[in-house]
Each structure stands twice: as structure tokens, then as C-alpha cells.
Structure 1
Amino acid sequence: MLTVNFSRVKTSAAPLVHIEREIEMRPEFFDRAKKLVFKADHVMVVGDLFYDEPYVTGNFRVTADLVVPSSRSLKPVDYHEEFSFTENYTQNKPSKEELDENPDPIVLVKDDVIDLQTAVEDNILLNIPTTILTKEEKEQDIYPEGKDWEVVSEASFKEGKKNQINPAFAKLKILLDQKNDDSDKK
């Protein structure tokens, strides 16, 4: 569990408190992540914390090797994630104005403990792209299908829409064709 004491950073003689550590994901993370992350290895966090009244601000860089489900087939995909995030930590409940004005999240600290483990875990989930494909799905443009159904690309869908006949116009065409046939007989 990766934690830092708020008061340690606040009273530190050094301008920055440096963190550089590989962390192990807790079972609670995988319970929370359910079907979003199958595996997480080599999770490394590097960053600095500093005190700027009334906050301790942390700037972090995270790298992780994940196994996540394909967004098409749900098959496991190896995915290397790298991202940065910044958070502000405070011992006093922030006002609505503070929350609205600050571009970075403000996290309320409990019992003088900054929980960096949860911050890293949350940000790992937030930084997983919405579309992740297996190598085959990318290269061969493979879409899932089943009995009497299939997923199609947006281009295929639009092409099908172009060639689709409006049912109301189809009925009108039949009526016009019948009328033309009747007038030809006379």
C-alpha cells in the first residue's frame, strides 16, 4: 500500500518529496475493476509532492503492463499504459468554489494519510482507452457475430443504409407498377 503523510510533506525541509516505487495492485482493485482489467504487472509510479498552502500537490507519472479485454470480442489484450496525473490533497473539506476553480482534483485527506495507491489505481482505470483490439481484429477488421446477428463497421452500415429501400416507397412503387400494368391492358 502506497501512502504518504500529509504533515511529512507539509513540514519537510526539502522543497519536494520524491516517490519512485513499483506497486502491487490490491485484490480490492481487481474486484472494483471487474471486467476492465484482467491483470496488472510492473506498475511503476514516479513523482513529487510539495506543499503549497493549503494543499499538498502531487505530480505523478505511471507506467503499467495490463491485460484488458478487447472492446469487440472481450478476448485478452496486452496493453502498456503510460500517463501522468496531478492531484491536490487537503485536510479541510474544499468548498464548491475551490472544486470548480481548480483544474486538478482536490482530495480530502483522512487521518493525515494521502492514499496514493488508490489514486494510482483509479487513474489506471480512467486511462484505459474505450477501444482496444486484438492484433487480428486490427489487421483483419474482424467483428463479432453470432446466430442471426453480426456487428458491422460504420462504413458497412452506411453503405447498407444507402442501398436500403424505404418500405413506404416500396409499397408506392408496387401500386404505381400495378396502375401502369392496368393502363397497358386497356
Structure 2
Amino acid sequence: MKWTLAQLRKFHDEVIKFDDDLKIENLTDRKDILSVERLNVKGEIFVRSRQFNVQIYIDTIINMLDSRTSEDIQVPLQIESLEIFDETVHEDDDLDENVHPVIHTLDLEPVIRELIIVNLPTAYTTSDEPLGSGKDWEVIDEDEFAHESEEKTDPRLEKLKALLDSDEEKED
């Protein structure tokens, strides 16, 4: 998805629409990201004199490893962003994250790649089950914990509880 500035200038003060399926290999070096299954990019480029406003809509499915089971799963992503490409800015300028310098060509692929990487979850699972249990522990919800803590009294503290109860009776 590249356009030269000469191509874009032909459409001054107009909107250029695009809709394309892309193939991106080696999206990131993360080991849990296996591949990009499907990637569709739609959008519009509004051409101004030295600035190009690009509204991008990304619809993709990423093949990842499940965070709990390590099985292959598909993670759908829908991303929308407004990116500004400007001829008057330089790479060493202190820029907003959505403003990009452009010299000879407007290339959307690095921006698309970055948007996908930033929006990927750090951990993702399709499992609805809680973690389960391990040696000498198990996962319980808060209601169970509150109920168990009310019922259980350490037998070594029974005498102290009786003493506390008798003190409360004396105060009444």
C-alpha cells in the first residue's frame, strides 16, 4: 500500500478510497504470535497541499497460542485510526504518535503493522474455566472464600473465642 507523492497530488482536496487484502509475514518477534490469517485494510486518504490525512480501518485475524493451554487459536481484531502524513515534519521532530513524516512515498504497511502490534493482547485465552488447582491450593471465588472463612475457626483459638464471647456478655 504505497503511493508516490506525485500520484497523490493529482487528487488535491479530494478523497482517495482504498480497500485491499494484505499479506504480512513475520509480524513480530513474539513467540505466541504464529501468523496473520486474514488482513483487510480499508480507508480514505484526504489529500491536502503538504499533508495527507489517512483514515484506516483494519479487520484481521491473528493466529496465536492460547495463554493457558498453548493451543492454536484465532484472535479477531478490528482497529480504526486516523494517521497524518506530513511533508513538513522530520523524523527527529517531537511528533504526536499519529503524525508521520513523508518524503517521496506514502507507505501504509509500517503503520498498519504497528497498529496491529500495539492492539494485540499480551495474553489471550478462549477457555472459560478458572485455572483449577495445584498442590495444596485451588482457585475459589470470593463468595466461597467469605463463606468458608466464616465457618472455619482454628481449633487452637476456640478458648480465646469463648473468652471473647464471655467478655461481650459481661458488657451487656
Q: Structure 1 length as normaliser, TM-score?
A: 0.64
Q: Structure 1 residues 30, 126: CA separation in 2 closer, same or farther (over 3 Å shift)?
A: closer
Q: Structure 1 residues 58, 145: CA separation in 2 closer, same or farther (over 3 Å shift)?
A: farther
Shift of 1:106: 1.0
Q: Structure 1 residues 12, 171: CA separation in 2 closer, same or farther (over 3 Å shift)?
A: farther
User: Residues of 2 paired with 1:171 and 1:53: CA distance?
Assistant: 82
2:145 alignment counterpart: 160
Give identity over the alignment, percent.
15
Q: Structure 1 residues 158, 129: CA separation in 2 closer, same or farther (over 3 Å shift)?
A: farther
Matched ranges for 1:107-122 at <5 A: 107-109=100-102, 111-122=103-114
User: Residues of 1 paired with 2:161 and 2:145: CA distance?
Assistant: 25
Q: Say whether 1:132 aligns with 2:105.
A: no
Matched ranges for 1:15-34 at <5 A: 15-27=14-26, 29-31=27-29, 34=30
Q: Deviations over 1:93-140 (max 9, x none)?
A: 4965x73xxxx711222x323231111112222333456322xx23xx
1:77 touches 1:132 (CA, 8 Å); kept in 2?
no
CA RMSD of aligned residues (A): 3.5
1:50 touches 1:58 (CA, 8 Å); kept in 2?
yes
1:30 touches 1:38 (CA, 8 Å); kept in 2?
no
Q: Say whether 1:70 aligns with 2:66.
A: yes
Shift of 1:58: 0.4
User: Residues of 1 paired with 2:32 and 2:51: CA distance?
Assistant: 32
In the TM superposition, structure 1's runs of 4+ consecutive aligned residues that sit over 4 Å from their partners are: 144-150, 169-172, 177-180
Shift of 1:142: 4.3
Letter in 2 for 1:13: F
Letter in 2 for 1:69: L
2:10 alignment counterpart: 12
2:86 alignment counterpart: 90
Tell me the secondary structure at the aligned position of residue 120 of structure 2: coil
Unmatched runs of 5 consecutive residues or more in structure 2: 165-172
Which structure shows the bigger proportion of residues in helix conformation? 1
Shift of 1:62: 1.5
Q: Structure 1 residues 172, 143: CA separation in 2 closer, same or farther (over 3 Å shift)?
A: closer
Aligned residues: 159
Shift of 1:59: 0.7
Tell me the secondary structure at the aligned position of residue 125 of structure 2: coil
Tell me the secondary structure at the aligned position of residue 38 of structure 1: strand
Tell me the secondary structure at the aligned position of residue 118 of structure 1: helix
Letter in 1 for 2:119: N
Q: Deviations over 1:54-96 (max 9, x none)?
A: 5211012112222123233332212232232210111214965
From 33, 36, 40, give the equivalent of 1:37. 33
